[in-house]
Amino acid sequence: MNQNNKTYIIKSLQKIKDETQIASNSTAIINFWNAFKGSKISYIGFNFIQNQILSIKLYYVVFTDDFLLADFPLKELKNHFCKHWLKRSKYVNQQFSNGGGLTFSIKLDFENQLEYGYYLRCIDLENCENNLIPAKKNSLGVSFEGSSDFGIYQTIKNHQISAKLYGYITPKKHFPNAISSFVNFENIRGVEIARINNEFDQKYIYLGGEDVFTTSLISQIPNEIELFRNRNELNYVCPAFSNKNELFSVYLTSFKSHTILPQIDHLITNYQKP
């Protein structure tokens, strides 16, 4: 077992947990999500290259189109959010739709830097995000020309704000042959393409549950992530590949607990069981 990966998982979750004990963005996100009474989910994502984990990200998603702007938990991003919320798509209130919901994230990278963000699928982004809309709107053989329905992922790290653009496709005929033996395509409901504004650094997220994963695909996941999944009784969802067709990310949630992750301290305790 890669001890560096195991240590990194524990220390990362512990740092996020410690941050929730003080007034912080992590505290604000989790408190907002805990107080929300409607439909919601939470999950954890791992980015990696081959056997090296690069980052861990916690996601907290709510499904609503009745949102009080005063409740928005990331104050430094509030002005950006207000602009995007006015252009929110119909999917914000549709659970398990492609790009649905309002998502908040807490990410810790391998350099121990925390990043926070929100994700929202919008319509008519052309008018407020011209600098992000790609000149060449084409991915996996599908053209985005004329489309204005994109996802916006706005983040802040060390007081620096950045944004990424997401696109969505559903035609299965465009799935790459290079990963055909790793994914059960008949169980995929669509593809979320991250960073479509950067054709050299894109990520393709295949949307679906555990039935998307084959034995071959699971064998490509670092052992420490599989151990973490097993000890916390979590389920894989949505494998993601780089533009080089290499497995880059996996996400986990709890189907047993109505798609709600255990609390962070429980994740750590369960993972460290002998």
Query: Which residues contact residue 241 at a Cβ distance below 8 angstroms, ignoring those fewer than 6 apart?
Result: 176, 179, 203, 204, 206, 247, 248
Here the contacts of 252-257 (C-beta below 8 Å, separation 24 or greater) are 252/43, 252/44, 252/45, 252/46, 252/225, 252/228, 253/41, 253/42, 253/43, 253/44, 255/209, 255/210
The one-letter amino acid code at 87 reads K
CA distance 248 to 208: 16
Range among 30-34, 95-99, 252-256 with highest mean pLDDT value: 30-34
Angstrom CA distances, 64 to 61, 67, 148, stand at 10, 7, 21
* Tens-digit pLDDT profile for residues 36-71: 999 999 999 999 998 899 999 999 999 998 888 889
CA-nearest of 180, 155, 178 to 166 is: 155
CA distance 42 to 81: 20
pLDDT classification of 136: cutoffs 50, 70, 90: very low
CA distance 160 to 243: 26
CA distance 248 to 221: 9
Q: Residue 138: pLDDT above 80?
A: no
* Tens-digit pLDDT profile for residues 76-112: 999 999 999 998 988 888 887 888 899 999 999 888 8
Write out the DSSP string of 74-113: -GGGHHHHHHHHTTB-GGGG-TTSTT-SEEEEEEEETTS-
* Tens-digit pLDDT profile for residues 192-233: 888 766 666 778 888 889 999 999 999 999 999 999 999 999
Cβ atoms of 81 and 118 within 8 Å: the answer is yes
Tokens 């949102």 correspond to: 67
Q: Half-sphere exposure of residue 6, counting CA atoms within 13 Å on the CB side?
A: 12
CA distance 166 to 172: 18
CA distance 159 to 74: 12
CB-neighbour burial class of residue 5 (10 A; exposed 0-12, middle 13-18, buried 19+): buried
